[in-house]
Amino acid sequence: MDSFQVRFKCLPLPGNPQGILLKYQRVGDLTHDENPLSVTFSNTAELDSAFIAAGIYLHSFSHIDPERDARPDPNQNYEVTVDALRKIGFDLPL
């Protein structure tokens, strides 16, 4: 499977103070258009679980880092495949 780099962006979920709206944008995309796809999570534990299921680890489990949480770093590029994005919850065409 071909992989590519993306940056994830977390936004607050309206109506749920613990909820998260997750979007992504391809790195190096010449159009710089906002990707209309998004996934909602009711809390950070669901978000973290979705990323683990996709094989993307957002932080090190070897030690506690109080400055990081389960949210993806918006300034970091993540190497993904279409399959990984589907496992996170994005509804991508086959």
Per-residue pLDDT of the chain in tens (94 residues, 90 and over written 9): 689 999 999 999 989 999 999 999 988 866 666 678 999 999 988 998 899 899 887 765 555 556 656 678 888 899 999 999 999 999 988 7
How many residues does the structure list for the chain?
A: 94
Q: Where are the domains of the chain?
A: 3-88
Let me know: does 56 contact 77? Beta carbons within 8 Å: no
The pTM of this model reads 0.82
- In the DSSP assignment, the letter for residue 9 is E
